[in-house]
Amino acid sequence: MVWILAGIVLAAAGAIAAILLGVRRRVSALARDLNAVAIAASEAHRDMVAQNGLDRNIDGLRARLAALGPARIENDELWFGAYRINGDDRVVDEIKTQYGGAVTIFMRDVRVATNVQKPDGTRAVGTRLAPGPIHDAVLGMGKTYRGEAEILGEPYFAIYEPVIANHETIAIIFVGVRKLDLPEGTVTGDPRSMACIRADLDSLRKVLAEQVRTAGEAIALRQLSEDTRRALDAERVTRAHQQAHAIAALGTGLERLAGGDLLFRLDEKLAAEYEKLRTDFNGAIRQLHDAMAMIARNADAVRSGAQEITAASDDLARRTEQQAATLEQTAAALEQITATVRRTAAGTGEARKLVGDARSETDHSGEIVQRAVAAMSAIEASSRQIGQISGLIDEIAFQTNLLALNAGVEAARAGEAGRGFAVVATEVRALAQRSASAAREIQQLIATSDREVGAGVELVGETGAALERIARQVSALNGLIVDIAASSEEQSTGLAEVNTAVNQMDQVTQQNAAMVEQTTAASHGMSSEAATLAELLSRFRIAAGANVVRLPAKVA
């Protein structure tokens, strides 16, 4: 509508200008008035063209920044998404290249990116928005400003639009065009003064004034509609920015969570409709942190316990192996001892048998000695009788010698008649002497034999006594050997039972060794799993009190 009205006004102005040009020599005053009207219409058209151009520029700038991401201030720098505005003029230069005009991005009231130049030709980065209606409307009330503005001493047609985040104006985007850069509309004519034309001009002025008023109302209505549309667009953009900011914040949180950072919190408040989402996210990650911290503490305890169990299992395995070897040696030694005891028992049995035989022989020898003593006693008695007989023979020989001597005396007395008798008597005497000599020798022999027999009897008696003592000792030895044999049998039986028990202990120890080996392998596996768990937990960033151990590598 505005364009149509502007076209009508321009067409009317052109027609009037053509008419006035035809009669310019006669209607100079009317020409001047028409020139003023044309200038006013041209200025109105210029303002309308400028506003339309600025609308296009602000829409393009807003869309370009929205494509970068939600706005935020971080470390006293203005960011749109991952794009830092401070000191980077590419966006403003891009908008100027595409649409023309001046472009500025404020962080609050400070220009951080602009193509507006100071008198020295440098960019006006770092300058502030001057206090006044624009400052109050945009920063104070969060409203868009449209109209004229003086920037660094030069007049501009401008639009200032707030950038709101978390219900706060954190930035301003500005587009503008210098008035001096807009073409001036002029209408010229020859100065003429005619009363009739003046009257017509008055009528025409009234008509044009009415048209200008109507066009002004249309422009105002269009401006109101455009402001409403822009307000709705700004609200939609604000909501989109809030949603994008919430999504970006949650995305950052989820990215940090995926990276294992459980200490991250969404500290920056979001819009009211997204605040519960931020609170729930922080609560969830806090609970996850507490759970992972508890798991980390338990994992550290499990790892320590597994290491202790592994060390104890290794020590137990070594000791069990040593015990198994010792038991094996003990079993072998017991086998040898058992065999030795069995041989000893067998030898003791043989010794008992031999001692029994020796006792029998000793008893028999005792009987023989007793008979020998009796025989020696009989011999002694016989020797005494022989001695008596020898004495008797000696007496007989003595008597015979006396008789022979007497016979010789008598034969000598008889003379020749007794010579034969004397010879016989001599022979008898010689025989008697020999008998006496033999009897004395026999007595000596008998005496010697008696002494020898006495000595023999004494020796035989001593032998009998010795044999009796030997018999008693053999009997005692037999009792001892019987006891030793019984003890050996009991020892053999006990050692057999001990050997069986030791063999069973050896088998149990071997089984225990196998079980200990399995336990050791299981404890090593548990240590490895605990180390793996600790390594997995080390990927999470948890508070220092959680005692998370970060391992360089998995323990094999």
Q: 3-state DSSP call for residue 465?
A: helix
Distance CA 131, CA 125 (A): 17
Contacts of 320 (CB under 8 A, 6+ apart): 509, 512, 513, 516
Distance CA 509, CA 517 (A): 12
Domain boundaries along the sequence of the chain: 2-253, 287-537
Are 187 and 39 spatial neighbours (Cβ–Cβ below 8 Å)? yes
- pTM (2 decimals)? 0.36
Contacts of 122 (CB under 8 A, 6+ apart): none
- The string of pLDDT tens digits covering residues 389-427 is 877 777 887 888 788 778 778 778 777 777 777 778 788
Regions of the chain short of the pLDDT cut 70: 1-50, 182-222, 544-556
- The string of pLDDT tens digits covering residues 474-498 is 778 778 777 887 877 787 788 778 8
Containing 51, the helix (H) or strand (E) segment is: helix 28-68
- The string of pLDDT tens digits covering residues 15-35 is 555 554 554 554 455 445 555
**Closest among 166, 163, 164 to 270, alpha carbons compared:** 166
CA 82 vs CA 73, 166, 293, 434: distances in Å? 12, 18, 33, 169
Give me Rg for the CA atoms of the chain.
77
User: Which CATH code, of 3.40.50.2300, 1.10.287.950, 1.10.510.10, 3.30.420.40, is assigned to 287-537?
Assistant: 1.10.287.950
Distance CA 38, CA 81 (A): 49
Question: What would the two tokens of residue 188 be?
Answer: 């010229």
Distance CA 268, CA 46 (A): 45
Please tell me the CATH superfamily of domain 2-253, with its number: GAF domain (3.30.450.40)
Percent of the chain with pLDDT strictly greater than 70: 81
